[in-house]
Homo-oligomer: A and B are copies of this chain.
Amino acid sequence: MTGTFGFRVQAVDGRARTGVIETPRGAIRTPAFMPVGTAGTVKAMLPESVRATGADILLGNTYHLMLRPGAERIARLGGLHRFMNWDRPILTDSGGFQVMSLAALRKLTEEGVRFASHIDGSRHLLTPERSMEIQRLLGSDIVMCFDECPALPATEGEVAASMRLSMRWAQRSRDAFGDRPGHALFGIMQGGVTPELREESAAALRAIGFDGYAVGGLAVGEGQAAMFGVLDYAPGFLPADKPRYLMGVGKPDDIVGAVERGIDMMDCVLPSRSGRTGQAWTRRGQVNIKNARHQDDPRPLDEHCTCPACRNYSRAYLHHVVRSGEIIASMLLTWHNLHYYQELMAGLREAVAAGRLAGFVADFHAARAEGDIAPL
């Protein structure tokens, strides 16, 4: 691979931006939504289908992949792209967040986190240096700093101490990452809902210098109002010429609100996870296809949607296969949800480029207020 990593803002509308992240593995149109391929697969989707929805980049989870099948194994097999048959960009998280949410017997020290695997109980140590090594072994295009995110509720003192630890780990991550042309390292801003801590964190990251900056520590249960409260000011602490990534967000209205506030990248398991539980996301809100009112409905989920689920199947069919526990239900609803999310991102990008984001957002909320189509 040749080429370098770069970001170009092409248009601005209010605080929102649209642009392109260039990588040796292809361009990422921003604002971008990254489907989550936790364990080397976006669940229930072939990678060519994920690409067909419009995704330019996937997210992989360091925590899951280091435990199974193992980073060294993936490296021997040619890296994560080849392993999972996705030749476009991959961003990997650092493992820090999922160690705290999934692993057992966690012990946090200045060095890193010792923990036991949730799969087989095996013992591991994750440090900034090891996280960088794992993400290098995976062949990640966008590497995330190893950070720590305190569980809520946390006092301001706990949030501050955790943020400062993450900033020391950010420096160690930067040092361990080294110089890898074509690969990017993103810092992660912490600081909870306290503006002074967010500003301190951003200043620390800017002093180190990164290819992009994430807003971390949100989407952890604080609620949309608190999240938007932080996004009203925190992106302004970050360099305008680097991508801003909001981790783990979110529902469609979270995404729209985040883009309005200057976010360029997001990821979330929601569209794929919802697809496996009979939940569909459409322009008109959320549809629980398991509901009996769909069982005789010959209409598609959304008559304007061009995904295979909407082009080829009735609500009655989707209802039937969800109720019957058929794998095709997960396949079709995940495809629909990822398609809807990518359509939403395309709409946001076009609206920002045309300077009509406010109108787009008003239409977005109006369609949702209308609600799902009436039963037949």
Q: Does A314 contact B (CB under 8 A)?
A: yes
For the residues of A in contact with B, the DSSP-based class is loop
Q: Does A223 contact B (CB under 8 A)?
A: no
Q: Does A324 contact B (CB under 8 A)?
A: yes
Q: How large is the interface on A (under 10, 10 to 19, 20 to 34, 35 or more residues)?
A: 35 or more
CA–CA, A263 and B82, complex, Å:
43
Interface with B: A14-22, A72-80, A159-167, A210-218, which one?
Answer: A72-80
A298 and B328 contacting across the interface, CB-CB below 8 Å: no
Q: Which of B68, B83, B317, B330 contacts A324 (CB 8 A)?
A: B68
Q: Does A226 contact B (CB under 8 A)?
A: no
Complex interface: chain B residues within 8 A of A73 (CB) = 295-296, 316
CA–CA, A41 and B44, complex, Å:
15
Cβ contacts A342-359/B at 8 Å (1 or 0 each)? 000000000000000000
**Chain A residues in the interface with B (C-beta under 8 A):** 39-41, 43-46, 68-69, 73, 76-78, 83-85, 276, 295-296, 298, 308, 312-314, 316-317, 319-321, 323-324, 326-328, 330-331
Q: List 13 A-B contacts (CB under 8 A).
A: A39-B321, A40-B321, A40-B326, A41-B326, A43-B328, A44-B331, A68-B324, A73-B296, A73-B316, A77-B317, A84-B317, A327-B327, A331-B331
